[in-house]
Amino acid sequence: GPVQFSLANMVKPGTFDLDALDSFQTPGVSLFMTLPLDGDSVAAFDLMLATAQGFRQSLGGNPGR
């Protein structure tokens, strides 16, 4: 389906090395969405928020600002 939101590494250049995910470390990530979406923007935002909260809980992270 269409992209609802994206995830970026906070360390330049903002990408992820998919071949080294087992040893990947970063001080943070950013989830973002570009509006308007083709579809329900509120539902996409709710899914993005739930994903961020799941990452934080699973990885023991701190909420961002």
pTM of whole model > 0.75?
A: yes
As a whole number of Å, the CA-based R_g of the chain is 13
pLDDT in tens, 10-55: 999 999 999 999 998 889 899 999 999 988 999 999 999 999 999 9
Cα angle 19-1-26, degrees, rounded to a multiple of 5: 35
pLDDT of residue 62: 74
**Segment (H or E) for 60:** none
